[in-house]
Chain A
């Protein structure tokens, strides 16, 4: 089995920055990424797409090419299309690549698995034609595919970014249905100091809003009672805004109310997580280097708590420094010295977060969906089902599996975990921390028997 000083899972900004820094410090590094092209979701397929669509996607996107450049070193082993399905302490990482199972050993593991869209269970959200806003962005970034007649629903800066990009590409959204209200921006004002320290973000936000205004995209703010209509596909979104009920016909619906850490791999290793009241999600417990409470396991980027692409890049660098120090490749004084500018940059990146989180809180209706709304997409379990489990004495998500199959489908709770925890916590009058989260076990992603068999023969060959 190949053995590395450091194995990184995920080739987004955190993983790529960490790989480059660790290799510079003389560590042997493998970076496993389930995508076929480096960049993560934020810089998805940047090496191909920046040249084709850089003008639409903007300068921030093109920056990703500096990170993919950093991966092109002989001493970095980049494994694209490598789907990790087990990480065992020690560490032994099992993955599938090109239909073959394989394993790699590591002294340290850095999880750079990024974020997932915050689940947004609204009536009709499982219909074809309804996608996450992140999916809309991926279609645009990687494929240049644009929705002709789309409605954006939810809240947050990403919603404005995708609207601005759609306008630049010549397919402005039919409408923006925004769930944040006037009260949210007022309560966000107490974080204005931080927002002003992060003024470049505010400026970008204001420019995007101006683009949306110029394109005359209708905006409905403080929207409530949102539902997606359609028999076999999305046909319209209905809502109430400013006292008026509306029905907006469309072909595509992009949902977004923030992103949340993808904690699957960390949880499978037993890393402790805590509920973050500001970000309304679970985040792993980490020290200032991104080191978790499981020895040797580091986490950097949005998987450690949402901070965005630039913050991820700096955090990846910090983790690499500490790992190099622990492995005796960097003396402690040099480690502190090299960390200082990264820490300062990280603090600048994080400054506007509290303002943004308060100004664009998650959609209340999607955090506590109506009884007949599906929450577990895979097994088609509704919010009412989960509430019924609670009324029968169910206290936590794992116990819920004895009542129904929520979280047991192929997505393994990625798109229902937070909702199931929130519903049970509310129904039982307990906190999310007391309620807990689905226990995550390998395989983290489905693996075929063929992939396992291929791994077995490979290992036998090695033994002979």
Chain B
């Protein structure tokens, strides 16, 4: 799940807060863009498509493509439109039950 990230994150001196990803604790910068923070933490796959189960990750970072959908506290949301706050429970639905319709 977590590998050496292809992305470098600066140390802006911000507060690190604990969130959970698929039940495992993860420290991210408070107030950071969630999609950016997850990428920097080495998260490569955010979801799997409904049609073929293909892996996807953030593509546009501006709320248009819906490839960064994750489940946050039980609601499917765009990670790139969410800011990191303490205690977020982030889940990536397994591909077999992946549902990418947020509504």
Contact = CB atoms under 8 A, between A and B. Distances in A.
Interface of A: 34-36, 41, 52-53, 83, 116-117, 126-132, 134-135, 138-139, 142-149, 171, 232-233, 251-252, 262, 377-380, 409-411, 414-415, 443, 445-450
B66 A380 contact: no
A379 B52 CA distance: 9
A143 B103 contact: no
B40 interface: yes
Contacts of A233: 44-45, 55, 57
A378 B66 contact: yes
Contacts of B62: 41, 116, 134-135, 138
Q: Chain A's interface: helix, strand, loop or mixed, by majority?
A: loop
* Chain B interface, DSSP helix/strand/loop, else mixed: loop
Given A126-B67, A131-B61, A135-B61, 10 more contacts: A53-B10, A116-B64, A128-B44, A128-B56, A139-B39, A144-B9, A147-B8, A252-B6, A377-B65, A378-B49
A414 B46 CA distance: 20
A445 B84 CA distance: 22
A87 to B, nearest CB: 17
A434 B65 CA distance: 27
Contacts of B67: 126, 377
Interface string B8-34: 111010000000000000000000110
A41 to B, nearest CB: 6
A138 B44 contact: no
B69 to A, nearest CB: 7
A271 to B, nearest CB: 19
Nearest to A232: B55
A410 B6 contact: no
A409 B6 contact: no
B7 to A, nearest CB: 5
Given A148-B7, A380-B54, A142 B36 contact: yes
Given A129-B6, A232-B45, A410 B61 contact: no
Given A145-B39, A410-B101, A138 B61 contact: yes
Nearest to B31: A48
B79 to A, nearest CB: 12
Given A134-B60, A134-B61, A380-B51, A148 B103 contact: no
Contacts of A36: 81, 83
Contacts, number: 131
A126 B102 CA distance: 20
A410 B66 contact: yes
A203 B7 CA distance: 31
Contacts of B51: 379-380
B100 A410 contact: yes
Contact of A34 (B32, B33, B55, B63): B63
Contacts of B63: 34-35, 83, 445
Contacts of B46: 128
Contacts of B37: 143
A126 B56 contact: yes
Contact of B61 (A139, A149, A378, A449): A139
A128 B7 CA distance: 13
6 contacts: A138-B36, A145-B39, A147-B8, A411-B66, A415-B65, A446-B102
Interface in B48-103: 49, 51-52, 54-67, 69, 75, 81, 83, 100-103
Nearest to B49: A380
Contact of A446 (B7, B10, B59, B103): B103
B32 A143 contact: yes
